[in-house]
Amino acid sequence: MSLTNWLIVLLVIMTVASLILFQSLNYYRSLVKQKGAFRKWPIKLINLDEVDPIFKTNELGPTLESLVKFIGRGHLIVPGGTTDSEAWVLSVLSKKARSIFEFGTCTGKTTYLMAVNSPPDAQITTLTLPPDKVQDYVQDSSDSKRATERALSESGFTRFLYSGTPEEKKITQLFGDSKHFDQSPYRKKADLIFIDGSHAYSYVLSDSQKAFDMIADGGLILWHDYRGPSLNKDVYKALNQLSREKPLRHIEGTSLVVYRQPMSTNR
Ligand SMILES: C[S@@+](CC[C@H](N)C(=O)[O-])C[C@H]1O[C@@H](n2cnc3c(N)ncnc32)[C@H](O)[C@@H]1O
């Protein structure tokens, strides 16, 4: 082979090697960034037993107080679904809640778990965007394209896991866009609110403002999918922003963020 050919081969090898190196470095950087190693995520971590004493453990681990009826998902991927730990946390907290509100029903798995584990007289209201109302969705220029597309693609459910079960009588299903939802009849009534609707920035802020209006004294608001700046960046940005005004906490080992409404002093 001539010297020119050798040089061409060398050049090709060097180009391919630098492309591989560049891709690997980028991938590594995104992993590290995702784990918060470069920059700590702004919302402080909290242990479960600081969220509620029902999670206190003894020398044997979690106690029977945290026993719930449960459907695990194992390694299965479920659309928009919670992990088994997150589903357990929400189920346990439901045991103490008489008035529950959920933004984003999806398959209705969490709705069912909250209904089946809450006291017999509890009421669960869940709001979701059905396929025949997707035109009501109000995209904002601050929303990422990915979060908007995902919200719309998840809006395909009109039958839910709880449909036809005895728990259905505890559940009120609302259909509509959450920015159009009038929360005034629920003001200060909810003991537990789960925000898991559209994950677009403007929606997380709008659903949260409504939830702060709806939460009862001593009640809990939980948000799903606080997963850092790479995955669900709109949720990350919106919750970080809210955490400057309210004491939000990120529950260790989950993507749940929690806020407890203080008891009002004029009681
Ligand atoms: C991630 S899934 C909810 C998962 C469910 N909470 C669970 O734990 O199984 C998101 C849901 O939010 C609904 N959603 C998306 N955008 C919405 C909007 N603008 N108003 C109301 N619901 C919306 C979708 O239809 C979908 O059912």
β-pairing, 99-103 vs 61-62, is unpaired
Q: How confident is the model at residue 257 (pLDDT cuts 50, 70, 90)?
A: very high
DSSP E strands in 151-204: the ranges are 171-175, 190-195
Residue 243 resides in a domain: yes
- Give the Å distance between the CA of 40 and the centre of ligand 1: 28
Residue 211 resides in a domain: yes
178: left (phi over 0), alpha (psi -120 to 50) or beta: alpha
Any atom of ligand 1 within 6 Å of the Cβ of 106: yes
pLDDT of residue 253: 96
Atom of ligand 1 nearest to the CA of 157: 27
pLDDT of residue 31: 53
Any atom of ligand 1 within 6 Å of the Cβ of 232: no
Residue 107 resides in a domain: yes
Residue 267 resides in a domain: no
Domain count, the chain: 2
Any atom of ligand 1 within 6 Å of the Cβ of 255: no
Q: Are residues 94 and 194 in the same domain?
A: yes
Per-residue pLDDT at 9 exceeds 70: yes
Can you give the residue range of the structural domain that contains 34? 1-39
Which H or E run includes 258?
A: strand 257-260
pLDDT of residue 3: 80
pLDDT of residue 20: 79
Q: Are residues 102 and 215 in the same domain?
A: yes
Q: Are residues 163 and 222 in the same domain?
A: yes
β-pairing, 249-251 vs 257-260, is antiparallel
Per-residue pLDDT at 183 exceeds 70: yes
**Percent of the chain clearing pLDDT 90 (strictly above):** 80
Q: Are residues 32 and 94 in the same domain?
A: no
Q: Are residues 24 and 123 in the same domain?
A: no
pLDDT digits 0-9 by tens, 72-124: 998 888 767 899 999 999 999 999 999 999 999 999 999 999 999 999 999 99
Q: Are residues 28 and 133 in the same domain?
A: no
* DSSP structural state of residue 253: T
Q: Are residues 28 and 109 in the same domain?
A: no
pLDDT of residue 246: 98
Q: Are residues 22 and 117 in the same domain?
A: no
- Give the Å distance between the CA of 23 and the centre of ligand 1: 34
Per-residue pLDDT at 44 exceeds 70: yes
Q: Are 104 and 204 in contact (CB under 8 A)?
A: no
Residue 265 resides in a domain: no
Any atom of ligand 1 within 6 Å of the Cβ of 111: no
Atom 1 of ligand 1, nearest CA residue? 80
Per-residue pLDDT, averaged over 129-143, amounts to 98
Of 206, 3, 183, 165, the residue nearest 101 (C-alpha): 183
Residue 266 resides in a domain: no
Residue in 105, 223, 254 to alter for ligand 1 test, most ligand atoms within 8 A of Cβ: 105
> 15-19, 117-121, 160-164: lowest mean pLDDT where?
15-19
Any atom of ligand 1 within 6 Å of the Cβ of 155: yes
Per-residue pLDDT at 138 exceeds 90: yes
Q: Are residues 109 and 10 in the same domain?
A: no
Residue 252 resides in a domain: yes
Separation of alpha carbons 71 and 84, rounded Å:
8
pLDDT of residue 109: 96
Q: Are residues 55 and 33 in the same domain?
A: no
Q: Are residues 98 and 188 in the same domain?
A: yes
Please report the DSSP string for 89-158 in residue order.
Answer: HHHHHHTT-SEEEEE--TTSHHHHHHHHHS-TT-EEEEEE--GGGGGG----TTS-HHHHHHHHHT---S
Any atom of ligand 1 within 6 Å of the Cβ of 83: no
Atom 26 of ligand 1, nearest CA residue? 106
- Give the Å distance between the CA of 247 and the centre of ligand 1: 25
Q: Are residues 106 and 13 in the same domain?
A: no
- Give the Å distance between the CA of 152 and the centre of ligand 1: 9
- Give the Å distance between the CA of 154 and the centre of ligand 1: 7
In CATH, what number is assigned to the domain containing residue 128? Answer: 3.40.50.150
Residue 104 resides in a domain: yes
Per-residue pLDDT, averaged over 145-159, amounts to 96
